[in-house]
Amino acid sequence: MNENLFASFIAPTILGLPAAVLIILFPPLLTPTSKYLINNRLITTQQWLIKLTSKQMMTMHNTKGRTWSLMLVSLIIFIATTNLLGLLPHSFTPTTQLSMNLAMAIPLWAGAVIMGFRSKIKNALAHFLPQGTPTPLIPMLVIIETISLLIQPMALAVRLTANITAGHLLMHLIGSATLAMSTINLPSTLIIFTILILLTILEIAVALIQAYVFTLLVSLYLHDNT
């Protein structure tokens, strides 16, 4: 009970060396692959989900935008597996670190924006000034639109970090309450434990939804610039 509430968010170390890199590289090892002509049910289901997700995200893109399909599918698989592995006991969730989420958001956002300025510079610049804007408001609107553009990667990273961190903290608090009540009142313990199970199911859904939302927003930024 005296454990620091934020202890689970501290980056782990092995012999004084950061182990976050090994943890980040671990989820791709869980993705099954097949060397046979006929796949089993697990790989068939995995391929169906990948095709469904990529089709839903790529239908709005043109030919240039669809070149990002492999990157976006890899991104959603990585974030989803990382979030799900973080729900295991005594595990570390890299997506609770704002620095890592920024490291994912900034290059993807910058790549989409640079592509927009290279291929459609007139349309990219037109976003800074809506049509029919009164002349006195032009400088203010340009500043506002510039700030809204630059804040997009920060919003991506903060949204993912806040949602995953809040869920982990809530599970930690309810788990601690369940442990504390187990020696005081058994009926109350059962009620709190039921709430903990329901919250765990909700967190599994949140882990998958946040991976989808992060990738979908990157896909929308890409669509606006291609």
pLDDT tens digits, residue range 183-209? 787 888 888 888 888 988 998 999 889
Phi, psi of 13 (to 5 degrees): -130, 150
In angstroms, the CA 213 to CA 155 distance is 12
Q: How many CA atoms lie within 13 A of 79 on its CB side?
A: 31
- Split at pLDDT 50, 70, 90, the class of 34 is low
pLDDT tens figures, 151-165: 888 999 999 988 888
Strands 17-18 and 13-14: antiparallel
Of 2 and 138, the structure prediction assigns the larger pLDDT to 138
As for how many domains the chain has, the answer is 1
Using alpha carbons only, how large is the chain's radius of gyration in Å? 22
Greater pLDDT, 134 or 160: 160
Take residue 159 and report the two structure tokens written for it: 């949204």
Mean pLDDT of all residues in 82-105: 83
Q: For position 1, what pLDDT does the model report?
A: 45
- Residue 82's pLDDT band (boundaries 50, 70, 90)? confident
pLDDT band, very low/low/confident/very high, at 59 (cuts 50, 70, 90):
confident
pLDDT of residue 46: 77
pTM metric for this prediction:
0.77
Res. 74 pLDDT band, cuts 50 70 90: confident
Do 125 and 185 contact (CB within 8 A), yes or no?
Answer: no
Distance of CA 50 to the CA centre of its chain: 17
Work out the pLDDT band at 19, boundaries 50, 70, 90: low
Tokens of 176: 């601690």
Cβ atoms 174, 196 nearer than 8 A: yes
Domain of 170, in residue numbers: 1-225
- Scanning 26-137, the segments in alpha helix (DSSP H) are 41-58, 69-85, 98-119, 121-126
Using 50, 70 and 90 to split pLDDT, how confident is the model at 134?
Answer: confident
* Residue 22 clears pLDDT 80, i.e. is over it: no
Confidence check: pLDDT of 2 > 50: no
DSSP state, residue 153: H
Given a cut of 70, whether residue 49 has pLDDT beyond it is: yes
Which segment, 35-39, 65-69, 87-91, is predicted with the most confidence on average? 65-69
The Cα–Cα gap between 122 and 135 comes to 20
